[in-house]
Amino acid sequence: METFFQWVTDYGYLAIFLMLVLGIIGLPIPDETMLTFAGYLVYRGDLNLVSTLVVAFLGTTCGITTSFILGRTIGLRAIKRYGRYVHVTEERLLRVHNWFERVGKWTLTFGYFVPGVRHLTALVAGSSKLEWPVFCLFAYSGGLVWSSLFILLGYLLGEGWEQISEEIHTILLWIGILAVCIFAFLAVWYREHIFKLGRGGDSKPAGKDGTV
């Protein structure tokens, strides 16, 4: 962990960008803790807030886009075969795939906050032939919220960032639970909305003679 902090301290924006790209692709990098530490460096005056937010967003989008392209080009079969090299297990991949089938594109937005899911959502989305503009809308908006949240958390906490960093996994767990609840609500609402639209389309006004 200290090595990652030292890289961010020494190389600043470049380290933030590269670690986010690699972490989201699947390498074991503590992204949330690193972002919180970057926010602390902003508090300390070593980094600029706007520049840090922009670089973090760019690193996030580059990482998630790379995963999406991999999912689209090489497919899930190759990912299952070689995924172990970037900590992508078949069990996790199947779980996210089932999740994506139920909830769809919203997985890209909220998946950032669910441990073990973030770096798989784009792979599954790419293999599902999700349209590019739809992917960008949901994946990039989620990435903006996720990266900005932890940077601002470190910035606002200042010297107390280390205390919260020890609880980062607990925070992610609660955020993940909240995300699942939001997923469930959206899924139920979407299905009911589509069902009502379907029933409305099936009903036709009766004519004067009582025929339909």
Listed in sequence order, the residues at least 6 apart from 107 whose beta carbon sits closer than 8 Å to its beta carbon are 96, 99, 100, 117, 121, 124, 125, 183
Structural Rg of the chain based on CA atoms: 21
Q: Which residues of 26-44 are buried (b: 16+ CB within 10 A; e: fewer)?
A: beebbbbbbbbbbbbbbbe
pLDDT above 90 as % of the chain: 31
- State the Cα–Cα distance between residues 199 and 195, nearest whole angstrom: 6
Query: DSSP letter at 74?
Result: T
Contact 83, 76 (CB under 8 A): no
**Contact status, residue 56 vs residue 35, Cβ threshold 8 Å:** yes
- Which residues, at least 6 apart from 130, have a Cβ–Cβ distance to it below 8 Å? 105
Query: How far, in Å, CA of 91 to CA of 80, rounded?
Result: 9
Q: What is the model's pLDDT at position 205?
A: 52
pLDDT at 212: 45
Token digits for 176? 């993940």
State the Cα–Cα distance between residues 106 and 186, nearest whole angstrom. 9
Residue 179, pLDDT score: 65
- CA nearest 19: which of 9, 6, 33, 4? 4
Which pLDDT does position 143 carry in this prediction?
A: 94
Question: 153-210: per-residue pLDDT in tens?
Answer: 899 988 887 776 666 666 666 766 676 676 667 666 766 666 565 555 554 555 555 4
pLDDT surpassing 70 at residue 66: yes
Give the C-alpha separation, 169 to 172, whole Å.
Answer: 5
Instruction: Using alpha carbons, list the distances in angstroms from residue 199 to 85, 192, 202, 212.
Output: 48, 11, 5, 15
Residue 129 backbone phi and psi in degrees, to 5: 65, 30
pLDDT reported for residue 65: 95
Residues 125-153: what's their mean pLDDT?
89
Question: Would you list the domain boundaries of the chain?
Answer: 2-202
Backbone conformation region of residue 200, classed left if phi is above 0, alpha if psi is from -120 to 50, else beta: alpha
Closest CA relative to residue 71, chosen from 146, 125, 117: 125
